[in-house]
Structure 1
Amino acid sequence: MIYDGHCHVASTDFIPDAFIGDVAVGMRRRLDAVAAGPPLDRLHESYRAQHRDHDADRLVAEMDAAGVARAVLMVPDFGLVMPGRLDLAEMARRHHEIRLRHPGRFWVYLGADPRRGAAGADAFAELVDRYAFDGMKLYPPCGYSPSDPSLYPYYEVCRSRSLPVFVHTGPTAHSLTFTTSEAILVDRAARDFPDVSFVLGHGGVTDVEVSSYLAAHRPNVYLDTGGFAGSPLVGGWPAHLNRLFRLGISHKIIFGTDWPLNQLTGGLQRLVGAVCDGDEVFAGVSRRDRDLVLRENLLRVLSPRSAADAGPSPARPGRPVSGATG
């Protein structure tokens, strides 16, 4: 059974158009480096059109085809830097409706921004309790450090409810800052809240040396592989993941794709097939470590309630659900 620890609903209701525009600018620059690409406005509209899966129906179909039983949906709080169509409370309600529409398929990590102050922490706690959400999502490129003391009331909410904290690390949209997204910046918070699990989003792809060091030596720090298929990696992403999985920290690595990025790399079925059925990614990796990465580590960081809620779900044809883990 495979769990994807890092997904988003591909919807303009949840992803600000300014963020989509930043991605389009990056695509245009890469295309212009090798050949004349389409006009920027056409690229922007094309990428926007790929974000109309407002109820996650297409994502669930992709998961079914790929044999992904469940996934974590991230709900970043961009509201103070990139206003979107909905406020955080409405996005929370809509993600709750998505879970009701697709029972047993999703966990949800709700976003937060410490600059919303004490009222923001109270609102976060109220929404988490109302909808029984499963974790917190932080996006430090919006302009704050994950160890800023203003986040500590939020961490107290997570500590009291056994919720993990997922922290974006590394590069992102070109209009946002990278200075607050370095992996090492989570260290103080992880030390001050030893009973809260911190997951370094993209930590298995960018700033890998520091992320791996933290995961190896901080008991409550994990990293994920989100975005691996779309990142520039020496020797290609299969070889990169294989090196990562042989570092001796597979008990601290969570498999994640960062969907909907995979729309541009053949979709989940092709991607998960290359990971699980290819010859390179898990070469020389024990079956036990494979199971930890693909399923068990995510269950370890989830609250007891969320982990207990995990149950059998449809598998991709040709890959049985039962017996897939040790």
Structure 2
Amino acid sequence: MNIDDLIAIDIHTHAEEPCCGPRDDGYDEFQTGMAAYFRNPAGAKGMLPTVQETAAYYRERKIGAVIFPVDGERETGFRRYSNEEVAQIAAENDDILIPFASIDPAKGKAGAREARRLVREFGVRGFKFHPTMQGFYPNDRSAYVLYEAIAEEGAIALFHTGQTGVGSGMRGGMGMRLKYSNPMFVDDVAVDFPDMPIVLAHPSFPWTEEGLSVAQHKPNVYIDMSGWSPKYFPPLFVRYANSILKNKMLFGSDWPAITPDRWLKDFDAIGIKDEVKPLILKENARRLLKI
């Protein structure tokens, strides 16, 4: 990856489709709900991009992309996209893609062994957690064996925070419980793993102020600005991005739910200072990822 040739690094993109065959039972309904929430018809029509297609899209725009699956098998019943497969395709497109992985903390020591192997053998740089989709509190001690492996391998932990499009509008919210994704639970993780870089994904609504406070207070905590069009960012979130947290805010789209084209267009209209834009769009991620 020639970082100097890139205009930005998108820290939050998804490898959506399950591996090893067709979509699981219920997956179409789930993606239809996601498509309605994000106003993205591709999901409803079963036309979500492959990892290869994602690489081509981002290469055309000269934007680097951190890409990952989400291991929500236990709570949702949907097979995850293979971490190894995502990492292998990312390696084939290493001019533009940066591989993260996802492991349900409930996998315990087996998950910790998988994490070490993925870092050492597949070049995985970080791990995505979705507390609501995985059904756990981030500060649950049962997850610590996995965090220990991630920290010891020098990788990054990225946590979904706040409301989610997963299950939105579906009966019972598809069983998804929003309470798990309050960023204050990640504060404990930041205390107990002070040398592990942590990213709070999204503006953490309705706990935006909690997310900002954790990122301000803990040196190892960053915020990615994905999952929302910037035009919907709360004013306080924009104010912190422009000042106190200008070195900790990261561009993220939530591809394919939100495209970088849409996100960047709206980002230009929210009053971010000219000297801050390069930090958010690339330089903060460059420093975090040690590129």
Q: Which residue of 1 aligns with 2:141?
A: 149
After superposition, what is the alpha-carbon deviation per residue over 1:51-107, rounded to whole angstroms, capped at 9, x for unaligned? 2x22432x2333244331x11002211111223345x6xx12211231133232111
Taking CA–CA contacts closer than 8 Å with sequence separation of 6 or more, which of the two structures ends up with the larger relative contact order?
1
Query: Could you tell me how far apart the structure 2 residues matched to 1:104 and 1:167 are?
Result: 25
1:2 equivalent to 2:2? Answer: no
1:272 equivalent to 2:264? Answer: yes
Query: Could you tell me how far apart the structure 1 residues matched to 2:180 and 2:85 are?
Result: 29
* Pairwise CA distance, 1:23: 4.5
Distance 1:269-1:80 versus aligned 2 partners, 3 A rule: same
Q: Which residue of 2 aligns with 1:187?
A: 187
Query: Could you tell me how far apart the structure 1 residues matched to 2:206 and 2:28 are?
Result: 21
Query: Could you tell me how far apart the structure 1 residues matched to 2:28 and 2:51 are?
Result: 19
Q: So what's the TM-score if we normalise by structure 2?
A: 0.82
Q: Which residue of 1 aligns with 2:67?
A: 73
1:49 equivalent to 2:46? Answer: yes
User: Is there any run of 5+ residues in structure 1 with no aligned partner, and where?
Assistant: 32-42, 309-326
1:100 equivalent to 2:95? Answer: no
Query: Could you tell me how far apart the structure 2 residues matched to 1:143 and 1:103 are?
Result: 32
Distance 1:206-1:98 versus aligned 2 partners, 3 A rule: farther
Higher Cα Rg, which structure: 1
**Count, aligned residues:** 274
Query: Could you tell me how far apart the structure 2 residues matched to 1:216 and 1:135 are?
Result: 22
Q: Which residue of 1 aligns with 2:252?
A: 256
Distance 1:284-1:197 versus aligned 2 partners, 3 A rule: closer
**141, 150, 153: which one pairs with 1:161?**
153
- Contact 2:10-2:253 within 8 A present in 1 as well: yes
After superposition, what is the alpha-carbon deviation per residue over 1:7-44, rounded to whole angstroms, capped at 9, x for unaligned? 0124343986645523424666999xxxxxxxxxxx99
User: Is there any run of 5+ residues in structure 2 with no aligned partner, and where?
Assistant: 1-6, 167-172
**114, 134, 138: which one pairs with 1:123?**
114
Distance 1:259-1:253 versus aligned 2 partners, 3 A rule: same
Distance 1:169-1:56 versus aligned 2 partners, 3 A rule: same
- Contact 1:183-1:203 within 8 A present in 2 as well: no
- Same amino acid, percent of matched pairs: 24
Q: Which residue of 2 aligns with 1:11?
A: 17
Aligned CA RMSD, in angstroms, stands at 3.0
Q: Secondary structure at the match of 2:200?
A: strand
